Amino acid sequence: MRPPGFHDYPDHLAAMRGAALGAVDPAAAVKRSFSRAETAAFERVFAVGAGKAGLAMATAAAELLGDKLTAGVISVPRAPAQTVSRLTFIEGGHPLPTAGSLAAGRAVADLLTQTTARDLVIALISGGGSALLELPRPGLSLDDLQRVNQALLKSGAAIQEINLVRQQLSEVKGGGLLCLAYPAAVTGLILSDVVGNPLDLIASGPTVAAETTPADALRVIEKHGLAAALPEAVLQRLAQPGPARRAPGPQAVTNRLIASSRLAGEAAAARAGDLGFDAAWLGDDWQGDARQAGRRFAERVAGAARPPQAGEEARPKAFVAGGETTVVVRGPGKGGRNQEAALAAALALAGLPGVVVATLATDGVDGPTDAAGAVVTGDTVARARTLGLEPQAFLDDNNAYAFFAALGDLVVTGPTGTNVNDLMFGLAYPRRASQ
């Protein structure tokens, strides 16, 4: 096999993306993590859930359970055209909850009113579930929740902080689903989109009793200076003393992490190794400001692109990192955290030969756009300037989508049906000492 060359980088990136997404296929994850035999002690089995991977997870669960499945309600971004026996799919909203999200929450609550201690509830949870499945606490409206979510998303708050606040405003989050399912046993099958895989924060932890309090949510709001932007009903609700909701019952609860960013990233790195790269997995904890993360990752790639020393073998290097960054929206532009990270990386790589950085939202949707990320090389900045585009100006305007659309460098996968955070791929190809 000939060594990888720079001109082949689109194929190399495509292979790594394919390996990453294949490793976290939701249907396969459900089937390897649960068996029908586990339902033998129960009279009935119900399936509920929400998330961007909900369709694939629920379909796999229905195939696995067969006639053992009594009924199910799953909130998804888009309901399937074909029906699935014993399952009801409801279209919720993302990144903001919609009337569909509330309809899904009510349908789940209604379904679970019939459970007994002889039943099992399988909760199928994946990223996006916080917005897709909602049941506001008394005194709160859909508009209240939308305004809170909008303010949090624009503030640069980490997903952990956002979901902490969401837990205190919802009857289904922070263990709320356990309350609704009581007295049935509950098994949560969870596909993680939160750095570190904290089960209490993935989709705001519907199957994990929250240990956080309204005071914790108020501290997040104060930290990001959001009080003036929030509805008075929300602030009043968080100011009330006492428990957020009744405690979950003493039913049997099992939660299983079935797929994560690490699984996807390690698969991508392994694929790069198969292609002839010296590949390194840099961890799944890349967080903070998207621009800083993109620049830091690009600098790591650039450092591997130096000419080989005397007697040193010139081998291509590949890097893979996972996580979820944030963007503080200051400009009027359009983009997402992956595109913003890629634009910052382009500036860091400007003029350097043989280097590539690509970003990927594993769900296929980066911010309010149809792109999953973008690809940059050491030539990106120069190409842009020949078109009259100044990269820094687009970055200042949070307008990475328009920048990469003009260059034809967006990564467009369409919705992937899974969701395990974001990935960054970096490739450094050998270059001569004269370069």
- Number of domains within the chain: 2
pTM recorded for the entire structure: 0.87
| Residue 80: band (very low, low, confident or very high) from pLDDT cuts 50, 70, 90 | very high
pLDDT at 1: 53
pLDDT at 171 over 90: yes
Q: Is residue 36 part of a domain?
A: yes
Distance, CA of 327 to CA of 348 (rounded, Å):
18
Least trusted range by pLDDT, from 37-41, 213-217, 244-248, 288-292: 244-248
- What confidence tens digit (pLDDT) does each residue in 85-134 have? 999 999 999 989 999 999 999 999 999 999 999 999 999 999 999 999 99
- Determine phi and psi for 119, rounding to 5 degrees: -110, 160
Q: Does residue 251 form part of some domain?
A: yes
Q: Looking at residue 305, what is its pLDDT?
A: 80
Q: Is 203 in contact with 172 (CB distance < 8 Å)?
A: no
Rounded to a whole number, what is the largest CA-CA distance in the chain? 74
Residue-level pLDDT at 52: 95
- Flag whether 336 is in a domain: yes
pLDDT confidence tier of residue 246, bands split at 50, 70 and 90: low
CA–CA separation, 17 vs 134, rounded Å? 32
Q: Is residue 170 part of a domain?
A: yes
298 shares its domain with 212: no
- Interval 298-324: pLDDT, tens: 999 999 987 766 666 778 999 999 999
* pLDDT interval class at 231 (50, 70, 90): very high
Of the three residues 222, 240, 259, the one that is the final residue of a domain is: 259
Mean pLDDT over all residues of the chain? 93
Tokens at 361, concatenated: 């939202």
Q: Are 355 and 349 in contact (CB under 8 A)?
A: yes
Confirm whether 318 is domain-assigned. Answer: yes
Helix or strand run (H / E) with residue 187: strand 185-191
Q: Specify if 355 maps to a domain.
A: yes
Average pLDDT over residues 25-47: 97
Report the pLDDT averaged over residues 333-346.
Answer: 97
Where is pLDDT greater, at 357 or 153? 357
Domain range spanning residue 208?
25-259
pLDDT of 435 higher than 50: no
Give residue-wise pLDDT tens across range 20-33.
999 999 999 999 99
> Is pLDDT above 60 for 243?
no
Residues 255 and 284 in one domain: no
How would residue 2 be classed by pLDDT, with cut points 50, 70 and 90? low
pLDDT in the model for residue 337: 97
Q: Which residues contact 302 (CB under 8 A, 6 or more apart)?
A: 348, 349, 352, 355, 428
Q: Model confidence at 426, in pLDDT bands (50, 70, 90)?
A: very high
The CATH number assigned to the domain holding 334 equals: 3.40.1480.10
Q: Of 233, 259, 285, which closes a domain?
A: 259
Mean pLDDT on 226-242: 88
> Given pLDDT bands bounded at 50, 70 and 90, which one contains residue 433?
very low
Query: Alpha-carbon distance 314 to 308, whole Å?
Result: 6
Q: Which residue has the higher pLDDT, 276 or 243?
A: 276
Q: What is the CATH number of the domain that holds 51?
A: 3.40.50.10180
Chain CA centroid to CA 354, Å:
30
Residue 4, pLDDT score: 80
Contact 4, 276 (CB under 8 A): yes
Q: Which two tokens stand for residue 179?
A: 């309350």
Tell me, yes or no, whether 284 lies in a domain. Answer: yes
Distance, CA of 323 to CA of 296 (rounded, Å) = 13
Same domain, yes or no, for 383 and 330? yes
- Given 259, 284, 316, the domain boundary residue is 259
